[in-house]
Structure 1
Amino acid sequence: MIRAASWSFGFVVLALVLLLSLGWTEAHGFMSMDVTDLWAKSIVQIDGPVQFKATDAFYPPVPYALSLLGQAVLPDTQVPVPFVLSALVGAGLLVVWFLNLRDTGQFSGVTAALVVLLLALNPFFLRALADGPETMFCILGTWLFARGIVNLRLTGNAPDMMKVAVGLLVVALSDSYGLMLCLGAMPFMIVAARPSMIAASSTGYLVAMFYPVLAAVGSLMFVSMIFDSRLVPLLSETATPLTLREHLVILAGLGPAAFVAILRNILIPRLFMPLLAAVGAVLGGYTLNTFFHVEGDPAMALAPMLGVLVAAIRFWPNLPLREPIAITLMALSLLTSALVMRHVAHNETRVWTNAMLGKENAASRPTQEVVSFLRDKSEIMVDVEKNPQIVVGLGNIDRLVIAGEPAYDWALEGACRGQTISWSRGRPRGRSQQTEFCAGSRS
C-alpha cells in the first residue's frame, strides 16, 4: 500500500514537472498546431450547440476521445487539456521505463533513474511532449511493439504476440503517422520472427500481427462511408522540403544511439534480429513519411525511436561496465539531439527551440492582439474550424456565434453587423489565408 502510494506521488510530481515545461514554452508564445486544433475541437464539441456539425475528422480517435473526456471533466480549466494528457502519458512512460529497466532489465535503481532522467531531458522527448498526446502515445506504442517483438522471438507465446499487435494498434489509432510506422514495420516482421513460426505459416504470422490494425482502421473507414462523413481525414500535411544532408542531420539525433544499443547484442541473434527490426520499423516509417508527408515535422517522425532505444538497453546482457555504458550512451544521445534541434528546418521545431531558450515567439503576437481585442466583445461570428486559435485564446465559446446557432445562419444570409476583422495567418496543413470574422456588441 505504501509502495503504491509512493509511486502515485512520484507519478503526479513527474506530471507536474512536465506540465511546467509545457507552460514555459506556452508563456513564450509556442503552442503546436496539433495541440491547438485538438483543444479547440474539444471545447466546441463539449460546450458548443447540439446542432453544431463538425466537418473535421476525428481520426486518430484515442487522443480525441481522451481530450473530450478531459474537457468534460475540466470545462473551465485555463491549462490546455492536450497538455494535461501529454504530461500524464509522458510521466507514465518515464515511470514504466524506470520499472522496466530496474526490475526486468536488472539495472540498479540509481542507473535506471539516471537513464530515465537523461531520456526525459532529451530534446526529442520534450519536443514530442509539446507536440501533444498523439506523439506521446506513438512513442508508447512503439515501445510496446519493440518489447513485444523481442519477447515473441524469445518465447513464441501468444501473450507476446498480443503485445506486438497492441503496440501497433496504439500507434495506428493515436497518430496519423502511426500508419506509416505500421507499414514501415511490415517488411521487418519476417526478420524478427522465430524460424519455426515462418516455417509453419508466414502469412498467418503477419495476419496475426496486423489484423487488429486493419480491423480498427477498416471500421473507421466503413463508418465514414456509411454516414458519408470525413471520419478519416486527408492525412498528408504540408511538406517541409529537405535535402539529403538535412535528413541525415535529423537522423543523427537518435539514430547512432539506437544502432549502438542494438549492436551490443550482435552476437546474440535472438535479441539482435528483433531489435534490428524495431529500428528498421521506425526508419521505414520515416522513409515513407518523406514521400507521403503524413507528419509535417521530420523530427517528430523520428521521435518514436526513443521507445526502441529504451527496449534495446533493457535487453543488454549483464556484462561488466553495462551500466556506465548505458549512462554514457544516453548522455551522448542527449548532446547530439540538442545539436540536431538547433538545425531542424521545420518552423514549429525552430519556434519550440527558441521558446525553450526563453525567446519570445514574434509570430504569436497577432493572435494575442486579436484575442485581446475580442475579450470585451460579444456575438463574435467566427468559423471555429478554420480559426482554432480564437477558441483557444478565449478559452471558451461563450462570446462566439458558431455554426449550428440561428444567429450564425442569419448573419450569413444578411450583412455582418459590427466590426469586421481581417486576420492573416498560416497553418502547417495549408497555405496562408485571409480570414474575416465579425465582432459585435450585445446591448
Structure 2
Amino acid sequence: MIRAASWSFGFVALALLLLLTLGWTEAHGFLSMDVTDLWAKSIVQIEGPAQFKASDAFYPPVPYALSLLGQAVLPDTQVPVPFVLSALVGAGLLVLWFLNLRDTGGFSGVTSALVVLLLALNPFFLRALADGPETMFCILGTWLFARGIVNLRLTGNAPDMMKVAVGLLVVALSDSYGLMLCLGAMPFMIVAARPSMIAVSSTGYLVAMFYPVAAAVGALMFVSMIFDSRLIPLLSESATPLTLRQHLVILAGLGPAALIAILRNIMVPRLFMPLLAAVGAVLGGYTLNVFFHVEGDPAMALAPMLGVLVAAIRFWPNLSLREPIAIALLALSLLTSALVMRHVAHDETRAWSNAMLGAENAASRPAREVVSFLRDKSDIMVDVEKNPEIVVGLGNIDRLVIAGEPAYDWALEGGVPRTRYIVVPQQAEGQATADRILRRFPQLKQSQMPGYEEVFQNSRWRVFERVNEWN
C-alpha cells in the first residue's frame, strides 16, 4: 500500500512538472496547432448545440475521445485539456521507462533515474509533449512495439505477439502519422521474425501482426462513411519543403544515439535484428512522411525514436561500464537534440524553441488581438472548425453562433446573416477558401457585404459588424 502510494505521488508530481513546462511555453505565446484543434473540438462538442455537425474528421479517435472526456469533467478549466492528457501520458511514460530499466533491464535505481531524467529533458520529448497527446501516445506505442518485437524474437510466445500488435494499434489510433509508422514497419517485420515463424508461414505471421491495425482502421472508415465524416482527406498536413541536408540535420538528433544503442548487440542477432527492425520502422515512417506529409513537422516524425532508444538500452548486455555508457549516450543525445531543435526549419518548432528560451511568440499576436477585440462582444458568427484559435482564446462558445444554431444554419443555407458580428480569416489573393462563411459570402473579401461594415482587421482575421437593425 505504501509503495503504491509513493508511486502515485511520484506520478502526480511528474505530471505537474510537465504541466509547468507546458504552461511556460503557453505563457510565452506558444500553443501548437494540434493542441489548439483538439481543445477547440472538445469545447465545441461538449458545450455546443446538440445539432452541431462537424465537417472535420474525428480521426485519430483515442486522443479525441479522451479529450472529450476531460472537457466534460473539467468544463471550466483554463488549462488546455490536451495539455493535461499530454502531461499524464508523459509522466506515465517516464515512470514505465524507469521501472522497465530498473526491474527488467537490471540497471541500478540511480542509473535508471538519471537515464529517465535525460530523456525527460531531451528537446524531442519536451517538444512532443507540447505537440499534444497524439504524439505522446505515438511514442508510447512505438516503445511497446519495440519491446514486443524483441521479446517475440526471444520467446515466440503469443503474448509477445500481442504486444507488437497492441503497439502498432496504439500508434495507428492515436496519431495519423502512426499509419506511416505501421506501413514503415511492414518490410522490417520479416527481418525481426524468428526463422521458425517464417518457415511455418510468413503470410500468417504478417497477418497476425497487422490484422488489429487493419481491422481498426477499416472499422473507422466504415463509421466515417456512415456518419458522412471525412477521414482520409484530412490526414495530410501542410507540407514543409526541406532539403536533404535539413532532413539529415533532423535525423542527427536521435538517429546516432539509436544506432549506437542497437550496435551494442550486433554480436547477438536475436537482439540486434529486432532492434534494427524497430529503428527501421521509425525511419521508414519518416521517409514515407516526406512524400505524404501526414505529420507536418518533420521533427515530430522522428520523436517516436525515443521509444526505440529506451528499448535498445534496456536490452544491452550486462557488461562492464554498461551504466556509464548509457548515461553518456543519453547526455550526448540530449546535446545533439538541443542543437538540432535550434536549426529545424519548421515554423512551429522554431516558435516552441523560442518560447522555451523565454522569447515571446510573435505568431500568436494576431489571435490575441482578435480575441481581445471580441471578448466583450456577443452574437458572433464564426466557423469554429477553421478558426479554432477563436474558441481557445475565448475559452468557451457562449458568445459564438456556430453550426447547429438556427442563425448560423439559416445564413449558410441561403438566408441573410442576422448576427451582430461575423468573423472570417484574412484571405490572400488566389488562396483556396476553407472557411465556410467566406465561401458562402465571398463579398466579405472585398468588404462589400450588404448591411455589414469592417470594424477590425489584422494579418490573420477580419471582423464585420452589422450596421442596420432588423425588424
Corresponding residue for 1:93? 93
Q: Deviations over 1:367-412 (max 9, x none)?
A: 1011111111111111101110000000001111111111223455
The CA distance in 2 between the partners of 1:229 and 1:126, in whole Å, is: 33
Residue of structure 1 equivalent to 2:306: 306
Q: TM-score, normalised by structure 1?
A: 0.92
Offset from partner CA, 1:144-183 (integer Å, 9 cap, x none) = 0000000000000000000000000000000000000000
- Cα distance change on mapping 1:410 and 1:198 into 2, 3 Å: closer
SS at structure 1 position matched to 2:119? helix
Who is 1:331 aligned against? 331
Partner of 1:173: 173
Deviations 1:258-290 (A, max 9, x none): 000000000100000000000000000000100
Asked if 2 retains the 8 angstrom alpha-carbon contact of 1:296 and 1:428, the reply is no
Q: Deviations over 1:179-226 (max 9, x none)?
A: 000000000000000000000000000000000000000011122223
Question: In 2, Cα distance between the equivalents of 1:179 and 1:428?
Answer: 42
Contact in 1 for aligned 2:408/2:417 (Cα 8 Å) = no
Maintained 8 Å contact 1:141/1:167: yes
Tell which structure's C-alpha radius of gyration is larger: 2
TM-score, structure 2 length as denominator? 0.87
Deviations 1:92-130 (A, max 9, x none): 000000000000001000000000000000000000000
Q: Contact conserved, 1:86 with 1:136, CA < 8 A, in 2?
A: yes
Question: Could you tell me whether the CA contact under 8 Å between 1:238 and 1:429 is conserved in 2?
Answer: no
1:323-354 deviations in whole A, cap 9, x for unaligned? Answer: 00000000000000000000000000000000
Q: SS in structure 2 opposite 1:236?
A: coil
**Comparing 39-48 and 232-241, the one that deviates more:** 232-241
Kindly tell me the number of residue pairs found equivalent between the two proteins: 420
Distance in 1 of aligned mates of 2:259 and 2:416: 35
How far off is 1:230 after superposition? Answer: 1.6
Alpha-carbon distance between aligned partners in 1 of 2:246 and 2:419, rounded to the nearest angstrom = 23
Q: Which moved more, 1:236-245 or 1:327-336?
A: 236-245
SS of the residue 2:343 aligns to: coil
Structure 1's 392 and 427: CA in aligned 2 closer, same or farther, altered over 3 A? farther
Q: How far 1:363 moved relative to its partner?
A: 1.4
Rounded Cα–Cα distance in structure 2 between residues aligned with 1:26 and 1:34: 14
2:380 partner SS? strand
Question: Are 1:58 and 1:232, in contact at CA under 8 Å, matched by a contact in 2?
Answer: no
* RMSD, matched Cα: 3.6
Secondary structure in structure 1 of the residue aligned to 2:8? helix
Measured after TM superposition, the shift of residue 234 of structure 1 is 2.4
Measure the CA separation in 2 of the matches of 1:76 and 1:326. 44
Query: Aligned with 1:75: secondary structure?
Result: coil
The question of whether the paired residues in 2 share the 8 Å contact of 1:59 and 1:233 is answered with no
Aligned-pair distance for 1:229? 2.5
Judged with a 3 Å threshold, the aligned counterparts in structure 2 of structure 1 residues 57 and 144 are, in CA distance, closer, same or farther, namely same
Q: 1:209 to 1:222 in 2, by over 3 A?
A: same
Secondary structure of 2:190's partner?
helix
Change (3 A) 1:225 1:408: closer
Secondary structure at 2:62's aligned position in 1? Answer: helix
Tell me, yes or no, if the aligned pair for 1:43 and 1:396 is still in contact at 8 Å. yes
Change (3 A) 1:56 1:14: same
The SS at the match of 1:204 is helix
Per the alignment, in what secondary structure is the counterpart of residue 390 of structure 1?
A: helix
Percent identical residues: 92
Instruction: State whether residues 407 and 419 of structure 2, in contact with CA within 8 Å, keep that contact through their aligned partners in structure 1.
Output: no
Q: Structure 2 unaligned runs (5+)?
A: 421-470
Q: Distance in 2 between matches of 1:30 and 1:104?
A: 38
Q: Is the 8 A contact 2:407 2:417 kept in 1?
A: no
Listed as ranges, the gaps of 5+ residues in structure 1 are 414-425, 432-442
CA separation in 2, counterparts of 1:127 and 1:199?
A: 43
